[in-house]
A and B are shown apart, each in its own frame.
Chain A
Amino acid sequence: MPEWIVIFYPINFLSAYVLYIYLYNRRKHIGFHLGMNITMVAAGGLALGTGIIFINLYPFYFLEATLFSVIIGGISGILFGNLFDYQTLLSGYITGIMMGIMAPMVGASAYEGVMFLIMIEIFILSSFCIAASSAYKT
């Protein structure tokens, strides 16, 4: 497993931060259902991206990978959900935790080749772009 996949960590976190700033300026004009879907996409995607990179860099540390993914997923679910409503916060938190538990196991199955990881990262980044473009109103 090559060492340059560390570059995906700051790419993921910067994309999530840009999405957060973009939504923060438009949060009053987004309805509840769209807000819940955007929160689930953002929290789940960030937890999944963190988990698969960590378990492929350090394959012997399953405990720390699960703990790190769950914490990142829970915190990002709470932060994205707090933009809209309290029930969106609950939905984001649960989705973040579920994806954080699943992420190291998904990442461990990418042990042979690196193309699977790159495809998952492209999927996560394009789902962030779709979530941002769905909130494109004036």
Chain B
Amino acid sequence: MQILLISITVINFLIGAWLYYVLRKSRFLFSDRFGYTASYFASSTLGLVASLNFILLFPNHSEIVGVLNILLGITMGFLYGSMLNAQTLIAGIYNGGISAIMGTMLGLVVKNPAICGLPGTIASEQEMIIFFALFSLCIQGISAILLLFSFKA
């Protein structure tokens, strides 16, 4: 199962890097408003998906991985937001951090549902981990398709 999680992490990062390359190639054609929306969208999805994958990979060191996730989310936001002007930079950094925090929280609840006050789940732990890994792949794929479709319009 570790192989499945590692491969899903690599695929998500590859999709994120491809999205960064496509956005960077045509960044001078953006208006202010589209730059804000694009950096908000891209840094939010990549922060959520990457932090969820890392927490599922390393469940025993959750404190250190949580700190690294927030730094990773801020870095992704900085990369996506430094394309146009200060407004996209602020939007990217803030939303990257917020979505990294939310992904960490989701990963921790998957491992141990008693954190939130839930009495337990009927599905076993293995099923939950596999389901959330595939779920993150679907979210990243659909978000990439929606953002790329906006270039045609």
**A residues lining the B interface (CB < 8 Å):** 32, 55, 59-63, 67, 70, 86-87, 89-91, 93-94, 97-98, 101-102, 105, 108-109, 111
Interface contact A101-B116, CB-CB below 8 Å: no
Known: A60-B122, A61-B122. 9 other contacts (CB 8 A): A62-B109, A63-B127, A63-B128, A87-B37, A90-B41, A94-B45, A94-B143, A98-B48, A98-B102
| Contact among B117, B121, B146 with A90 in the assembled complex (CB-CB below 8 Å) | B146
Report the separation of the CA atoms of residues A62 and B143 in the bound assembly, to the nearest whole angstrom. Answer: 24
B contacts, CB < 8 Å to A:
33-34, 37-38, 40-41, 44-45, 48, 99, 102, 105-106, 109, 113, 116-123, 127-128, 131, 135, 139, 143, 146-147, 150, 153
Q: How far is the CA of A86 from the CA of B41 in the complex (A)?
A: 13
A94:B40 contact, CB within 8 angstroms: yes
In the docked arrangement, what's the CA distance between A39 and B102, Å? 21
Q: Do A61 and B37 touch across chains, with their CB atoms under 8 A apart? A: no
Contact B44 A94 (CB under 8 A): yes
